[in-house]
Every structure is written in C-alpha cells, then in structure tokens.
Amino acid sequence: MAIFDNLGKYRNTGLLLLRLGLGVMFIIHGFPKLAGGPAGWTGLGGSMKVIGIDFQPVFWGFMAAATETFGGFLLIVGLFYRPACMLLVFTMIIAALVHFGKGDGLQGASHAIELGIVFFSLIFIGPGKYSVDKK
C-alpha cells in the first residue's frame, strides 16, 4: 500500500518508540519489586531454584528487580543497551521456567517468552540513532 511505503525511513523512530514503551513498562513492573526490600527479594530470588541455584536468594531477587527497573531505564536512554537486553533475556528465561514449573504451561509462560524473544532480537538490532550508545 502506498500509504506505508515511506515508513521505512522512520525505522529509528519506531525503534525509539519500542524502547520507550518497553522501558516504561519494565520500570513500572520492576520498581515495586525493587522497593519490596529483602523480604520481597528473597521470594523473587527463590525463582532461581528452577535452574538449580538455591543459595543467596536475596541477592538473586535484588538482581532480578534491579534488572527490570534499571534495565528499563537503560532501554529508554539507549545506554549499555546490549548488556541490559542480555540481562533482561535471562530474567525472562527464568520467569518462563517458573511459569512452566508451576504448571502454567505455554499459556502462562507466553508473556515472558515473547518479551525474551523481543529482547534477544534487540541485542542484534541495537539501540538505533536516537540513543546514548548510537554509532
């Protein structure tokens, strides 16, 4: 369709909108976990048992909450973009495995899987022109 023919020249704008949307949602999703303190981090970090890690749940919980919160911020500004995406991919893998472990099946794990695919893809795409890490 002719109306969509010129949209290709706005790829960086589209990527910026994607980064803003995902980043804001991850900050909103992660900040309450981060603010939950050690009691909340312990429960969250207990999720690492799905891959056989059962030590230091407070540390792992803090890392997951910080990854979601600060990873969202780093997505928005496009700073340390690829490392942030890698950490978010790992977090989404654990989230998906937790859902599978609880018996939620693919339906329950689908959101984490979808976001993991998006973040994995963004590692290859990069932050785009409108970012601190621009090349």
Q: What is the pLDDT of residues 10-44, one digit of tens each?
A: 999 999 999 999 999 999 999 999 999 999 999 99
What is the share, in percent, of the chain residues with pLDDT greater than 70? Answer: 99
| Domain assignment present for 111 | yes
Contact partners, residue 117, CB within 8 Å, separation at least 6 = none
Q: Which pLDDT does position 135 carry in this prediction?
A: 63
CA–CA dist 62, 66 (Å, integer): 6
Average pLDDT over residues 113-126: 97
Within-domain flag for 99 = yes
What's the number of domains the chain is made of?
1
6 within some domain: no
Domain of residue 98 covers 23-125
Q: Are 23 and 72 in contact (CB under 8 A)?
A: yes
Residue 82 lies in a domain: yes
**pLDDT score at 26:** 98
33 found inside a domain: yes
Look at residue 71 and tell me if it is in a domain: yes
In a domain, 134, yes or no: no
How many Å apart are CA 74 and CA 87, to the nearest integer?
Answer: 11
What does the alpha-carbon distance between residue 61 and residue 58 come to, in Å, rounded to a whole number? 5
Please say if the pLDDT value at position 7 is more than 90.
no
- Provide the token pair at 18: 């994607």
- pLDDT (average), residues 99-120: 97
Residue 4, domain member (yes or no) = no
